[in-house]
């Protein structure tokens, strides 16, 4: 991150923490400048007017939502900007919702109101939450089962960078692949939000070897978190085999396409391959049907008989589907409790690449280094 950007991020961070502390002290936050829009029951939000480039995003006034039964109303302090948001902007996801829409799947902030029959939270609580769209707004309402209290020493911007990256990484490593002492893991996009969460969680288990691919310019920044780093364009199959002839125990693949076959070929007996993304379909500012078709064409056709003969496991993982379509919020709540314990024990820490104001929406570019988060 450029020095200018880092200084700006520090300044902005201090600003949100100051504002957040003030509102928490005021309970419902009444009287602070960020409530001016609330008085007229309007709020600012980032609106995606149609699928496409950055020019499709703009800050707009919207009617402020009020909590329905079982929901919490959150005065947002910071939101996560994840790769999935970029894919949503381009319409590069399965069954995209209709535009105009407010993007964003996670945020942190202060509880401003409780819907009927909500228990376990109070007005003024500092929280982080998953939202099924609509997180990039000043105020968000979301069902209580998607909301988690923020540890005292976690900042709002850290909290906005926490749920998506760490739950995804934890679920894949421990729930799907059963990571244990002495195992090895290959992760693509190791410098990204999920990649860095994977690296940190692997370091909580003794003697885990992490192989990672990332653009070379990120290697200096992430070299301490990944045991063996390769350039994303290198022949990583050969590189991994040179270091570990038998391959690895777990492959985490967010580059659906030719990497699926390569990943499966790298698995040790009883190893697990997990597909969890298709970043490689994003090749420019807007959706490319050519890269979509290319990825689809290159996906390895998996033969179950071969899996049986070779003792290999293949899996898929989608956190958003698990949460919002398959009703597993209870499971995710248990995972968040474990992750918060690891955070309190100082074993993991969310990384924030940079902070951006809502008004700077037109300048939000693909993350220069790790991943990008923004604040209002
Ligand atoms: N299934 C789930 O539940 C779930 C949850 C969260 C995220 N994800 C997926 O996980 C992946 C990473 O997400 P994130 O939020 O951690 O991302 P991120 O922090 O934005 O990092 C993404 C990285 O992917 C690499 N990349 C970008 N475009 C690419 C392309 N066209 N081809 C190959 N590599 C490309 C780049 O790293 P390098 O240049 O260093 O390679 C980039 O920095 C995404 O595919 C996302 O959709 C899935």
pLDDT in tens, 336-349: 999 999 999 999 99
* List of domains in the chain: 1-18+40-162+350-373 (3.90.180.10), 164-320 (3.40.50.720)
**Pairing of the two strands 71-81 and 372-375:** antiparallel
Q: Which of 86, 171, 194, 234 to mutate to test the pocket of ligand 1 (most atoms within 8 A of CB)?
A: 194
List residues near ligand 1 (CB under 6 A): 82-84, 164, 168, 189, 191-195, 214-215, 218, 232, 254-255, 276-277, 279-280, 282-283, 317-319, 367, 371
pLDDT for res 237: 97
Q: Which of 80, 82, 83 to mutate to test the pocket of ligand 1 (most atoms within 8 A of CB)?
A: 83
Q: How far is CA 111 from CA 12, 20, 48, 123, 182, in A?
A: 21, 11, 26, 5, 43
pLDDT for res 17: 52
pLDDT tens readout for residues 22-37: 343 333 333 333 344 4
Q: How far is the CA of 14 from the centre of ligand 1 (A)?
A: 28
Nearest CA residue ID for atom 34, ligand 1: 280
Three-state SS annotation for the chain: CCHHHHHHHHHHHHHHHHHHHHHHHCCCCCCCHHHHHHHCCEEEEEEECCCCCHHHEEEEEEECCCCCCCEEEEEEEEEEECHHHHHHHHCCCCCCCCCCECCCCEEEEEEEEECCCCCCCCCCCEEEEECCCCCCECEEEEEHHHEEECCCCCCHHHHHCCHHHHHHHHHHHHHHCCCCCCCEEEECCCCCHHHHHHHHHHCCCCCCEEEEEECHHHHHHHCCCCCEEEECCCCHHHHHHHHCCCCEEEEEECECCHHHHHHHHCEEEEEEEEECCEHHHCCCCCCCHHHHHHHHHHCCCCCHHHHHHHCCEEEECCHHHHHHCCCCHHHHHHHHHHHHHHHHCCCCCCCCCCCCCHHHHHHCCCCCCCCEEEEC
Per-residue burial over 330-352, b if 16 or more Cβ lie within 10 Å, else e, is eebeebbeebbebbeeeebbbbb
Residue, of 199 and 16, whose pLDDT is higher: 199
Q: Residue 291's pLDDT band (boundaries 50, 70, 90)?
A: low
pLDDT for res 92: 84
Q: How far is the CA of 10 from the centre of ligand 1 (A)?
A: 25
pLDDT for res 294: 67
Q: Which of 254, 318, 320 to mutate to test the pocket of ligand 1 (most atoms within 8 A of CB)?
A: 254
Q: How far is the CA of 165 from the centre of ligand 1 (A)?
A: 11
Mean pLDDT taken over the chain: 86
Preceding peptide of 297 cis, ω within 30°:
no
Q: How far is the CA of 284 from the centre of ligand 1 (A)?
A: 14
**Closest ligand 1 atom, CA of 191?**
40
Q: How far is the CA of 317 from the centre of ligand 1 (A)?
A: 14
Nearest CA residue ID for atom 32, ligand 1: 280
Token pair, residue 249, equals 């125990």
Q: Minimal CA–CA distance to 317: which of 354, 277, 351?
A: 277
Residue, of 303 and 169, whose pLDDT is higher: 169
Q: Residue 302's pLDDT band (boundaries 50, 70, 90)?
A: confident
Token pair, residue 88, equals 């949503």
**Closest ligand 1 atom, CA of 86?**
20
- For 322-329, the CB contacts below 8 A with 24+ separation are 322/171, 323/130, 323/132, 323/146, 324/132, 329/143, 329/145, 329/146
Q: Is the pLDDT of residue 179 over 60?
A: yes
């Amino acid at each position: 991150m450029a020095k200018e950007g880092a200084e700006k991020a520090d300044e902005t961070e201090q600003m949100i923490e100051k504002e957040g502390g003030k509102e928490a002290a005021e309970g419902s936050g009444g009287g602070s400048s960020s409530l001016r829009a609330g008085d007229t029951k309007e709020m600012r939000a980032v609106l995606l007017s149609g699928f496409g480039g950055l020019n499709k995003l703009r800050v707009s006034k919207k009617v402020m939502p009020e909590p329905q039964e079982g929901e919490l109303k959150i005065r947002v302090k910071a939101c996560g900007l994840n790769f999935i948001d970029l894919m949503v902007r381009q319409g590069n996801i399965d069954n995209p919702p209709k535009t105009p829409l407010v993007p964003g799947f996670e945020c942190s902030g202060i509880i401003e109101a409780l819907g009927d029959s909500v228990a376990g939270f109070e007005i003024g609580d500092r929280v982080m939450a998953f939202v099924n769209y609509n997180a990039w707004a000043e105020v968000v309402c979301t069902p209580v089962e998607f909301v988690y209290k923020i540890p005292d020493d976690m900042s709002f911007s850290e909290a906005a960078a926490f749920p998506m990256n760490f739950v995804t990484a934890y679920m894949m490593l421990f729930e799907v692949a059963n990571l244990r002492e002495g195992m090895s893991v290959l992760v693509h996009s190791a410098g990204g939000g999920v990649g860095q969460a994977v690296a940190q969680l692997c370091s909580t288990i003794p003697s885990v070897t992490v192989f990672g691919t990332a653009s070379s310019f990120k290697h200096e920044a992430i070299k301490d978190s990944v045991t063996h780093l390769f350039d994303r364009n290198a022949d990583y199959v050969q590189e991994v085999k040179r270091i570990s002839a038998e391959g690895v125990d777990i492959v985490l693949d967010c580059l659906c396409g030719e990497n699926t076959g390569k990943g499966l070929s790298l698995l040790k007996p009883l190893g697990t391959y997990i597909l969890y993304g298709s970043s490689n379909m994003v090749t420019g500012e807007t959706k490319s049907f050519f890269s979509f078709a290319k990825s689809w064409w290159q996906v390895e056709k998996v033969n179950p008989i071969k899996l049986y003969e070779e003792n290999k496991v293949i899996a898929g993982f989608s956190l958003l589907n698990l949460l919002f379509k398959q009703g597993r919020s209870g499971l995710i709540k248990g995972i968040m409790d474990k992750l918060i314990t690891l955070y309190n024990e100082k074993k993991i820490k969310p990384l924030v690449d940079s902070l951006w104001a809502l008004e700077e929406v037109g300048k939000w570019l693909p993350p220069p280094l790790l991943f990008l988060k923004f604040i209002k």
